[in-house]
Amino acid sequence: MEGRCVSMSPIEPGNDLTAGYCTHVDAEGDKLFEWYKGMFNGQTGRGTGRLLGGTGKYQSVKGNHTYSYQSEKIQGDAFNGTGLKLGRYWYAADEL
């Protein structure tokens, strides 16, 4: 599974807050949507996130996690990175 994320951060010195949304796509083309917030200093980050459902087999998935992230700037304002997410997920039907 791979994903793309869009982050929003205040532009002020010393403020490392960030929040955003990710869309992850698996090999079959099904998508999983995620929202996250945390701290990011340009190279490393950490925070919390939620799984918001998706398409296909991920349509009713919900969940929450913590994450840590390591990145490198590749061009302009674009970053490439890897991370670790730890948490749990469930299918919304399981809540009934």
The pLDDT tens digits of the residues spanning 11-51 come to 777 788 999 999 999 999 999 999 999 998 878 889 999 99
The pLDDT tens digits of the residues spanning 58-95 come to 999 999 999 998 988 888 877 788 889 999 999 987 65
d(CA 25, CA 7): 18
Can you give the pLDDT at residue 58?
A: 96
Predicted TM-score (pTM) of the model is: 0.81
Is residue 69 exposed (0-12), middle (13-18) or buried (19+ Cβ within 10 Å)?
A: buried
